[in-house]
Structure 1
Amino acid sequence: MFPRAPLRLLRRACGPLLAALVLASAQAVAVEPVRIGVSGPFTGGSSPMGISMREGIRIAAAEINAGGGVLGRPIELVERDDEARNERGAQVVQELIKEGVVAGLGIVNTGVALASQRFYQQARIPVITSVATGSLITKQFLPPQHPENFVFRVSANDTLQAAMIVEEAVERRGLRRVAIFHDATNYGQLGREDLERALVERDIHPVAVERFQLRQADMLTPLRRARAAGAQAILTYGIGPELAQIANGMARMGWKAPLIGSWTLAMSNFIDNAGPNAEGARMPQTFIQEPTTERRASFLAAWKEKTGTERIPVPPAAAQGYDSALLLAAAIEQAGSTDGDRIREALEDLRTRVEGVIMTYDRPFSRTSHETITDTRDISMGEVRNGQVVFARDEDRQRAVRQ
């Protein structure tokens, strides 16, 4: 037992220390997280893209928080499933804004993007579209009608993809009689327009244009029409389940025409549902799941640790989600603020080099260009081989190694 006097002295000595510890603890608790909205299709036919994107964003957020967060504050992801439905996407973004997000990431489907990103624009909150590829997405809010544009993107737009698809069919394979198969969504309709424009530049018109619905099972009838019209290749704009129906229908007909389409031919539910009939399909890809650089190897290791599996359902979606989160974090740091206008200005003049998975970003945006990818040389051509997407061309793989 301590004598009374020393106890009093001990209390006096420890009192200020205890008060300081309590104050420091209260201050730590009081640090508000930086809330970032993340929306995408986490259920349904588009979910392989949405889940891949979301996991990529989560991996980036964990790394950022492990490094101290942004502005000394942790990032908190506020996630919502938009179910790949336009009206749900619009509702989700309005909910996220009410919950106090300072920026948005995600959005997979073109129609959902066009329906929902207007609410970010109206609230003057920047959004980086991680996956949706419709060429109109970053052009929806341009001057002079809209002095500032709050919509940015890291994926490869469909104008670029269509040029690569047509180049593969016409220039590399020498095919001039092609059919276009596209779904009835905004994505499919706008993609079809991009394909037709790219063909017209070569004085080619498709011998058949076939539109199909989501969840349409019968592709034999339109395929027979395309073959009867003399199509030498099928160019596609759709998503995995319906693309698999096309590949399987061609196999049932014994028709071995090349299947060349947009990046969604890399979706796991195309490859799995089509099985051996997916072999040889080609598509543009911003990222192919190979550790061609240290950065990519690190990302793939983080993916395996986080998810417990090596397989990424849609590798470009995961990489684009990851990179979009890194770019946003860099912009918030540069802005020194979570104010939407300040973040937008920082994105348009980003002075920090950001080493991503797809590329190293050096001033990726400007006031007049909100696209990180503006050249087909930043995109590889992928091919399904043995149930996975690999580099279709050795020149693309060599370039990826040098990046």
Structure 2
Amino acid sequence: MKSFASIGTALAVSLLSSVSHAEILVGVAGPLTGPSAAVGEEIKQGAEKAAVEINAAGGILGEQITLVYGDDASEPKQGVSVANKFAADGVSFVIGDYNSGVSIPASEIYAENGILQITPGSTNPTFTERGLWNTFRVCGRDDQQGAVAGAHILKAFKGKRVAIINDRTSYGEGIAAEVKKVINGGGVTEILNEGINTGEKDYSVLISRLKQAGTEVIYFGGLYTEAGLILRQAKDQGLNAVVIAGDGITSAEFGQIAGNAAEGTLMTFAPDPRLKPGAQSTVAKFRAGGFEPEAYTLYAYAALEVIKAGIEESESLEPQVVADALRSGNPITTVIGDIRFDNKGDRMDEDYTLYVWKKDSDGKLKYSMLK
């Protein structure tokens, strides 16, 4: 079995030397504004750095990558608008979106217009379960991380009163449902199962209900802004329940919003990609430029590496041909490690682990693997 990383581009370049190609247009879609803008910046920085590195090394099949950006603001309708604009602009490949509720409807537009989409952070299983030819993800799925969180609740909090909260998005509802499935299967019935609206600022009514129910453990399906506000207000109102969440709170912004209330919060995320042996030089370059490549930065970087590998393996710039090559199951060497895709476009090798938020020696809130 050959690795995409071992495939040279010399043959492909010679084959195409007499043919003139336009630049390779790659769209980067994500929340550059709105409640998840911090993650949008990570995705932008990751894709940008990868493009610079790849172009400096000769591009892809001798062609240079040009990135175009689309701000979906975490809104499904705006994500569809971005997708339509990318199609009109002649984009062939897309890195994005971040929110599952945006990626799912946008992927329909991309599929209809012959555009391959690789998301760095959309984890809802529906994204790859519809049989579309164009959907891939370099992250894992909610049924994977939900199983990890649910198993931990059953083991570590046996006999505790558990509440489940979600933010009514595709991501939040989906991952909360996966956790519910696991704990219910283990004989635990949640005492509350509530939905909140993204963008809310006052959660006093919700917190009062949690207190009245005697809540000891909260599973939260949603993103860092709402999670941070709920924790801070819960602490102020004397609710000291342990909170567990998914990868939606994997951002330094969570600690800044929640403040001291973030300490002890648990979350699921993949093994920290910054610690991968093959990522060290790339991480150093980000840090030298004053940017910490946390969370989805390196996932976006890897998404462009996947696109490059698929083009070089297929010796084609046609997205559907590239998609077929990516589904061959051959390993693709990326900054976050080797990736192999199944026929759905899911990774065959992703896993999740548990992290805990706590203060480091400098007093800064950070997440580290739970020991």
Q: Give the TM-score, by structure 2 length.
A: 0.88
Matched, 1:326 2:305: yes
| Residue matched to 2:269 | 285
Residues 154 and 373, structure 1, Cα contact 8 Å, conserved in 2: no
Per the TM alignment, residue 373 of structure 1 is displaced from its structure 2 partner at its CA by: 5.3
Per the TM alignment, residue 214 of structure 1 is displaced from its structure 2 partner at its CA by: 1.4
Give deviations 1:9-65, integer Å, cap 9, x for gaps: xxxxxxxxxxxxxxxxxx99x763111111000011111111111111111111111
Q: 1:271 to 1:285 in 2, by over 3 A?
A: same
For residues 389 and 266 of structure 1, what CA distance do their matches in structure 2 show?
10
Which of 11, 28, 31 matches 1:38? 28
| Residue matched to 2:3 | none
Give the number of the structure whose residues are more often helix, by fraction: 1
For residues 152 and 129 of structure 2, what CA distance do their matches in structure 1 show?
27
Which of 351, 358, 361 matches 1:385? 358
For residues 159 and 204 of structure 2, what CA distance do their matches in structure 1 show?
22
| Residue matched to 1:105 | 95
Which of 186, 191, 201 matches 2:185? 201
| Residue matched to 2:60 | 70
| SS class of match (1:316) | coil
| Residue matched to 2:327 | 348
For residues 173 and 296 of structure 1, what CA distance do their matches in structure 2 show?
36
Mapping of residues 43-58 of structure 1, within 5 Å: 43-58=33-48
Q: With CA pairs under 8 Å and 6+ residues apart, which has the higher RCO, 1 or 2?
A: 2
Give deviations 1:148-168, integer Å, cap 9, x for gaps: 521011112111121111122
| Residue matched to 2:158 | 174
For residues 240 and 206 of structure 1, what CA distance do their matches in structure 2 show?
22
Per the TM alignment, residue 227 of structure 1 is displaced from its structure 2 partner at its CA by: 2.5
Matched, 1:149 2:133: yes
Over alpha carbons, which structure has the higher Rg?
1
Segments of structure 2 that go 5 or more residues without pairing to the other structure are 1-16
| SS class of match (2:63) | coil
RMSD, matched Cα: 2.1
Residues 331 and 338, structure 2, Cα contact 8 Å, conserved in 1: no
| Residue matched to 1:145 | none
Q: 1:287 to 1:99 in 2, by over 3 A?
A: farther
Runs of 4+ in 1 over 3 A off after TM superposition: 350-353, 387-390
Amino acid at match of 2:55: N
| SS class of match (1:365) | coil
For residues 173 and 332 of structure 2, what CA distance do their matches in structure 1 show?
36
Paired residue total: 350
Q: Give the TM-score, by structure 1 length.
A: 0.82
Segments of structure 1 that go 5 or more residues without pairing to the other structure are 1-26, 143-147, 395-403
Mapping of residues 356-371 of structure 1, within 5 Å: 356-357=335-336, 359-361=337-339, 364-367=340-343, 369-371=344-346
Mapping of residues 236-385 of structure 1, within 5 Å: 236-288=220-272, 292-306=275-289, 308-309=290-291, 311-312=292-293, 315-349=294-328, 351=330, 353-357=332-336, 359-361=337-339, 364-367=340-343, 369-372=344-347, 378-385=351-358
Residues 329 and 341, structure 2, Cα contact 8 Å, conserved in 1: yes
| Residue matched to 1:4 | none
Give deviations 1:325-384, integer Å, cap 9, x for gaps: 111110011111111221111111154541322x222xx1132x3111565xx2222221
Per the TM alignment, residue 297 of structure 1 is displaced from its structure 2 partner at its CA by: 1.9
Matched, 1:229 2:208: no
